[in-house]
Structure 1
């Protein structure tokens, strides 16, 4: 049975807002107004409200007294807690991908790594960020575990703000590319343990850079879209794997 037009409209609105949240066009704390959505997308109140509810369910939007729906902001403790979980889930995805990824997806993963190499050669943080997302997305899909892939995508969306500054950090593109090479080799070889270790080390290394980006934010703007970082701080604490690679 085909989806109703109303549901399609709400999905269209949700996808548009989600893209704007991820890109930073809608920053943390930005208000999401139903009437503005109705005018912008030429829809009734119901699909606009449904789109907002879907974003709330994904953790991207929350409600604030006297303001209504706003783009959600993570606290620093929440972010570190999610980073600890992300490392474990990313490692599991790489482990399952090494065991299960079909040959066609392994080829796609190699191609995505090639895109990372080309972006790194140009020292282009934006292009590298896009290629990096594709590299990880292929691993999620290659795990052949839809629940795990969905959870990882949801967490990545919620942790989006510090990630925007990740590849502006000195040497991060070069280091990330080398880590990707190790992950790729382990997955292609079908080595589950090596894939898990390489991925958790990769996320841990990135987590240290996230901490630096967070530490460099102006007071009161933590975990909103950061400016290019200039200062460095200690890596996040509290997780065994978070401190394995520094």
Structure 2
């Protein structure tokens, strides 16, 4: 089925938003190949704006264009995950401190609404909805902090963080732990406990970093096992 493209933003912008949305929502997983032709057919447009959209997403770090091989959704090494977590910690801790200083009550109201919705999504097993709300929870700090440059800097890595969050949220146990931490962050903000909130947020980011590194290690082990099995099969046929 061909998807109609509405008028307004350019075809390139629409194609970029479409691909980005599928990556962020977890419909396209890290390392998965992208087909310009398939995307163009889905959107009912030519391959040219799709190709331009992919170049834009490459600049944003969401896709990897490999000559002679193709285009793939970004992947990250353990070292890159650590570096991303370092930048994320700097930005989010600054945003939380500013938000609590400027309008603690507004942040509390925003977080209260989001946490209630997260709990409902978790109870219903709606992991996609939970992921979106998780991202909204962290974005709320930047909205209340109301610092244009801080927000713009965070936007550079926000899509990548959300895409990584998609992988972790496939584990119900991790979602339960995540929800509990968000509830505790809300409690600290409601009580005006700035230091405790910042300390917990720092721990939350470190926990997410460590869980993703463990996931990468598990995937690497699984891939090695598959390759070894394939080698044994080939050796048995010769």
Query: Could you tell me which residue of structure 1 aligns to residue 182 of structure 2?
Result: 180
Contact 2:12–2:49 (CA<8 Å) still a contact in 1? yes
Q: 1:221 to 1:45 in 2, by over 3 A?
A: same
1:110 deviation in Å?
0.9
- Choose which of 127, 147, 150 in structure 2 pairs with 1:148: 150
Q: Distance in 2 between matches of 1:155 and 1:175?
A: 23
Taking the aligned partners of 1:166 and 1:28, their CA distance within structure 2 comes to 12
Is 1:216 the counterpart of 2:224 in the alignment? no
For residue 20 of structure 1, the aligned residue among 19, 22, 25 is: 22
Indicate the SS of the match to 2:10: helix
- When residues 60 and 189 of structure 1 are mapped into structure 2, their CA distance, relative to the original with a 3 A threshold, is same
Question: Once the two structures are superposed, what CA deviation does each residue of 1:44-101 show, in whole Å capped at 9, x if it has no partner?
Answer: 4553233122211210012202034332221221122212222222212211211224
Pairing partner for 1:70 from 69, 72, 76: 72
Alpha-carbon distance between aligned partners in 2 of 1:146 and 1:90, rounded to the nearest angstrom: 14
Provide the TM-score with structure 1 as the length reference.
0.72
**What is aligned with 1:88?**
90
- Deviation of the 1:219 alpha carbon: 3.4
Unaligned runs of 5+ in 1: 223-246
> In the superposition, relative to structure 1, how do residues 142 and 65 fare at CA in structure 2: closer, same or farther (>3 Å)?
same
| Equivalent residue, structure 2, for 1:113 | 115
Q: CA deviation digits over 1:112-162, x for unaligned, max 9?
A: 011123334456544433332221122232221233334334424224555
Kindly indicate whether the alpha-carbon contact (under 8 Å) linking 2:63 and 2:73 is maintained by their aligned counterparts in 1.
yes
**Residue 131, structure 1, aligned to residue 133, structure 2:** yes
User: 2:50 is matched with which residue: 44, 48, 73?
Assistant: 48
TM-score calculated relative to the size of structure 2: 0.74
* Separation (CA, whole Å) in 1 of partners of 2:169 and 2:30: 20
4+ residue runs of structure 1 moved beyond 6 angstroms? none
Deviations 1:182-209 (A, max 9, x none): 3223334454433322211221222232
Equivalence for 2:234: none
Structure 2 gaps of 5+ residues are 1-6, 225-238
CA RMSD of aligned residues (A): 3.1
User: Which stretch of the first structure deviates more once superposed, 72-81 or 177-186?
Assistant: 177-186
The structure having more radius of gyration, on CA atoms, is 2
Distance 1:172 1:206 in 2: 9
Alpha-carbon spacing, 1:187–1:54, altered in 2? closer, same or farther (3 Å): farther
User: What secondary structure does 1:73 align onto?
Assistant: coil
Deviation at 1:33, TM superposition (A): 4.2
Q: Are the equivalent residues in 1 in contact too, given 2:23–2:73 (CA < 8 A)?
A: yes
State the partner residue of 1:225.
none
Cross-structure match for 2:197: 195
Q: Secondary structure at the match of 1:62?
A: strand
Residues matched between the structures, number: 218
